[in-house]
Structure 1
Amino acid sequence: MNELDLFDVVETERSPGAVFEVVQYKSLKGSDDLNVAEKVFFANQAAIHLKMVRITLDNSQVLIEPGALYFMKGDLQLESAMQGGMAKGLMRKFMTGETLFQSRIKGSGEIYLEPTFGHYLLFNIDNDALIFDKAAFYCGSGNLEVSAKMQSNVSSALFGGEGFFQTQVKGSGIVVLNSPVPVAELLMYELAKGEKLSVDGDFAFVRTASVSFQAEKSGKSLFQSVTSGEGLLQTFTGPGVIWLAPTQAVYAKLKMANGFSTLTRNQGSMGTKT
């Protein structure tokens, strides 16, 4: 069976010397284990597809997370090194959760990364920078720089929910991130200069580096913030673009015991009697 019969291409991005694609199996055919076959049946019924990132190189190179390689064919060489040297590698490892070593594949050929039921988000950046959640980086063009980005102020580090450091990728090329939700459920907002977006939660997934971030009171005073029930909000100020994953917390609750029942009640109700 050839690739056209097995896969659908669901997303494609191109850069000089490289094509990045997200491919998914049209359906899984089952297993000789009945328990596995049952899970495969329900995955097919729910339209949950097994996906892989496929990269085609033409005398080019790509960065991938160690362990992500599944198989490759062609004139390709796999190397492992600390991008940016020991200091930057250690910073990236301990501050953002990204790996100390990164794998680099050079040459011409076709690369398949590990299959997953998860989701991928592809960006094609041109002399720009993205800031995103820890450990979200999956692979990207070989000339990109992956580093730790320190929060610009103490309030965002202590109360913003993201910690003191996030991951930054800058340069020109393709960036592939592990998305916490299906890409169709992400919301993208383009903020004008000085325009604010306030979020009650940590589901702001990725933003361009031009967007500033800090934790702010929801009300004009601390008393208003406490009595409103919202407290501190993640506040993002333009110019730039930001992507939100509003359903991320919903899926996290569904994984918990009695998680579905908590979603059937109005979480904002304060029990006021009338």
Structure 2
Amino acid sequence: MFVTLEPKEKITAEAGAMVSMDADITMTTEFSGGLIPALMRKFFGGESLFVNVFHNKTNRPLNLVLTQSVIGDILAFKLDGKRICLEPGAYIAHAGGAKMGVKWAGFASWFAGEGLFKLEFSGKGRVLFGSYGGITRKEINGEFIVDTSHLVGYDSNIKMSIALSSNLLSSITSGEGFVTRLKGKGTVLIQSRSVSGLVGFLRPKVR
């Protein structure tokens, strides 16, 4: 994604997200939000320990290109006071007053391989996030089920839980395993492809 930093503007990005930038942009590396929140994101949320801050200290616009590790859509979400939770690996960058924190996801989420915490963004800035494949926005009002490997994010007011897709035998034999149950009113973000599905497809071919 191409980002234009206006004079004195800055953006915080996931470590390794930068593709290229104008030479006059200043880059610093830090623990986002402090050491303890960074450690929680690293060891309980599956995110990087460090983030990079790109700052335009000049008096003219400068350009920065950011990307993600998988092939897929990249979206810029305008918060406007809303809160959004992102799944591990979806976050790319945030700017303009957006604040990054963590939200407890529960032991069931950890058991399903999704981490104990989710990244939660609040404030009035923008959040850049990506997916493997295309991103679909789904407005829900009630209960909705998404395969755990296809969920990208959701409004923070939506309640999330992890459960078996059916009874134990059906969950194992159907190949669906765990699913994410979302309950409430708001936006759910879904990716069209699954990294775990790709790994499962390639594993028997590379032995």
TM bin, normalised by shorter chain, reads 0.7 to 0.9
User: Which amino acid letter does the alignment assign opposite residue 212 of structure 1?
Assistant: K
The separation in 1 between residues aligned to 2:51 and 2:86, in whole angstroms, is: 18
The separation in 2 between residues aligned to 1:250 and 1:90, in whole angstroms, is: 28
| Match status 1:94 vs 2:43 | yes
For residues 46-99 of structure 1, give each alpha carbon's deviation from its aligned partner in whole angstroms, at most 9, with x where no partner exists: xxxxxxx33332432111223333443386432222222222222222222323
1:233 is aligned to 179
1:265 is aligned to none
2:43 aligns to what SS in structure 1? helix
Q: 1:71-82 counterparts in 2 under 5 A? A: 71-73=20-22, 76-82=25-31
Alpha-carbon offset, residue 154 of structure 1? 3.7
Q: 1:29-108 counterparts in 2 under 5 A? A: 53-73=2-22, 76-107=25-56, 108=60
TM-score (ref. length: structure 1): 0.60
The separation in 2 between residues aligned to 1:233 and 1:240, in whole angstroms, is: 19
The separation in 2 between residues aligned to 1:115 and 1:218, in whole angstroms, is: 33
The separation in 2 between residues aligned to 1:103 and 1:243, in whole angstroms, is: 25
Alpha-carbon offset, residue 201 of structure 1? 4.1
2:123 is aligned to 171
1:247 aligns to what SS in structure 2? coil
Alpha-carbon offset, residue 164 of structure 1? 1.3
1:204 is aligned to 151
2:160 is aligned to 213
1:202 aligns to what SS in structure 2? helix
Q: Which has the higher contact order (CA 8 A, sep 6+)?
A: 2
Q: How many residues align?
A: 196
Q: Percent identity?
A: 20
The separation in 2 between residues aligned to 1:63 and 1:115, in whole angstroms, is: 13
The separation in 1 between residues aligned to 2:78 and 2:145, in whole angstroms, is: 26
1:45 is aligned to none
User: Which amino acid letter does the alignment assign opposite residue 143 of structure 1?
Assistant: G
| C-alpha distance 57-95 of structure 1, shift in aligned 2 (>3 A) | farther
TM-score (ref. length: structure 2): 0.77
User: Which amino acid letter does the alignment assign opposite residue 114 of structure 2?
Assistant: E
User: Which amino acid letter does the alignment assign opposite residue 210 of structure 1?
Assistant: N
Alpha-carbon offset, residue 106 of structure 1? 2.2
Runs of at least 5 residues in structure 1 that lack an aligned partner in the other structure: 1-21, 23-52, 220-224, 260-274
The separation in 1 between residues aligned to 2:148 and 2:47, in whole angstroms, is: 23
For residues 122-160 of structure 1, give each alpha carbon's deviation from its aligned partner in whole angstroms, at most 9, with x where no partner exists: 212111222122132111215322233221x444443x4
User: Which amino acid letter does the alignment assign opposite residue 226 of structure 1?
Assistant: L
The separation in 2 between residues aligned to 1:70 and 1:242, in whole angstroms, is: 29
1:132 is aligned to 86
Pick the aligned partner of 2:71 from 96, 118, 135. 118
For residues 140-188 of structure 1, give each alpha carbon's deviation from its aligned partner in whole angstroms, at most 9, with x where no partner exists: 215322233221x444443x4413122222222221113111x3xx332
Runs of at least 5 residues in structure 2 that lack an aligned partner in the other structure: none
8 Å contact 2:148–2:178 — kept in the other structure?
no
User: Which amino acid letter does the alignment assign opposite residue 197 of structure 1?
Assistant: F
Pick the aligned partner of 1:162 from 111, 114, 117. 114
| Match status 1:180 vs 2:132 | yes
The structure whose Rg is larger is: 1
User: Which amino acid letter does the alignment assign opposite residue 18 of structure 2?
Assistant: L
1:140 aligns to what SS in structure 2? strand
